[in-house]
Structure 1
Amino acid sequence: MMPLSIYFLAPSLDLACFLAKLYICCCIKYVVVLRSYSLCLFVFLLQPVEKLKKMDLSYSEHLIQIPNLCGAINLESINLQGCISLVQIPSCFKNLDKLELLDLSDCENLKDGMENLPLNIRELKLCRTAIEVLPSSVRFLLGLLDLDMSGCNKLKDGIENLPSNLKELRLCGTAIQVVPSSIGCLMGLSHLDLYNCEKLESLPKSIWTLKSLEWLDLSNCPNLIELEDCTSSSLRYLKISGCTGLRSIIALPPSLTCLDANNCTSLEEISSWWTPTVQDYDPQVQHQNNKSEGEIYNFEQCLKLGHDTCINVIEDGARRRILSALDVYLYLYLFLSLRKI
């Protein structure tokens, strides 16, 4: 006699045999969590389950087809990481209105079906998949806040189709050559990771207008030659280590508290310095800087960068730190005094 309600199906079960019997014997619409780490099915059959909230079929290497989940109206999380036989996102996913997290990391043969993503999804992990282009349908995923496409080494087009409400974006190790100017429309973006984008050649000016952007990782982008004037940005953390082709930085933003330029062997100059005005003084930004543990500047192996330039970066950071603790009316007065020392 099978129970009428099942909350959890554990990975220790012989799921292939168990579900075959379960499918015939009873309705499993009350299952809430389904997990299996050793599923050995070519086609996984499952009746629609109304109460199902989480489905974890990660590392089911022979899983090539997802069941029809149209009846799983309460599904919030799907983990298909490591399902290397999957080649596309199934069409039934577009009807999962409550789905917030979809993990397809390490589905190394997955490259199609992006148009089947539900509009309300909040977190999408596509790391190390075979996706080559972001289709225009992605821009309509207005609920998407976190997109991780790290290691998608075939991805090179469609970056202009990113949805406007993104807060975190990881494109490490992709084949993109240019970041489109449309990235300036991602007004809530706070974290951008372009680590190890070996073909990346330039960044648009619009990236420095993003007031929410605090973290930018450009490490190991050897074809990046120059960083344009970024004084208008709100960056706090800038990582450019291993950018062996980088020759100059036009200017650093006043909000910066961490600069990692380790092994920038071609870096020769940081050509101009931020000169503050009353209009530049943002109490909220300065308050955040005050709470940081300290400023970090790493110029190790920057063999072409002059010693005086390194010292100027550190001194300029110290001045900003002192000024941030002062009343705005004394702000410019003290700055001008320090510049004469």
Structure 2
Amino acid sequence: MIRVGVVGLGMMGLTHLNVYRSLPNVSIAAICDADPDRLSGKVSAAGNVEGQAQASVASLSADVRRCSDLREVIGAEDIDLVDICLPTHLHLRFGKAVLEAGQHLMMEKPLARNAADAAELAAAAESAKGLSFVGHCLRFWPGWAWLKEAVDDRRYGSVCSATFRRVVDHPKGAFYDNGDLCGGALLDLHVHDTDFVQYLFGMPKAVTSFGYSKITNEADHVVTRYQFDSVPLVVAEGGWAMTDGFTFNMCYTINFENATADFDLSRDKPLAIYEQGKTPEYPEVESKMGYDYEIEYFLECIEQQRQPTIVTMQDALNTIRIVDAEAESVKTGKTVTIEA
């Protein structure tokens, strides 16, 4: 039985908590938040995808320790795994503390606020006793995991173009209002697609990004072209600058040599495949979210005492390196080369 402490009871903390509650090989030892209303369940965060933030803190067993001080979780003898769902700028400080304490670390994406902090965390993880994992959930998301397999096994030939889009209205709150802390939509939202682009095609040679600030002092809406030798056109758009009430959506269109794959979360049948000479297909996509699968995967790694490979700390660091290059491109109006 893996004993977990969840730190930070916002949208993602509650989402992770709900997954842990559903699994037989996990015991929730503690929850931690500086806000007493969140800790008691009087106030609860909301998600922007159906199924997020469903856990009820108020209904947790009396055996679950409720803490307002992280020192009651980090280094605690009755906690094997610490799940950090804190604001991004706190990841380096508390992620390193978990690693130094010898516990396993589950870190919600992004790994850190910038590449320098991410590199420091990745270096700390190399010598740590515990295992480390970063919650890049798209790598596990039904429909997106299918795409990874389709690209890798070349079932429709090579990729001619890949387009991704992720847009929503602003999530509100002091953290999301402050670009210095959250990194704007570029780092907090668009990072999902940046990471998945890396997962599919590796590190890009360069990025050319365009965007604007509307709410924070960082890019709140961005469009990036990622340059690869192997794929002629890879583009991703992401932003949270839409007018209030705009429904969250994530989608992709991948044009292969012999087929086009199109995913749109807003449809009843989100995945559509248009293959040359065949009737369009609409494969069933599992209803579980990527959070379920990523946490199940990391718990399996802990039980088997093996390093995660689907998402590594180096992967998470490289994603931040790409995002940093995108931010530079937006600010300078120039293409930014990324060192291999």
TM-score w.r.t. length of structure 1: 0.27
Decide which structure has the larger Cα Rg and report it: 1
Select the structure with the greater relative contact order (CA < 8 A; seq sep ≥ 6).
2
Q: Which has the higher strand share?
A: 2
TM-score w.r.t. length of structure 2: 0.27
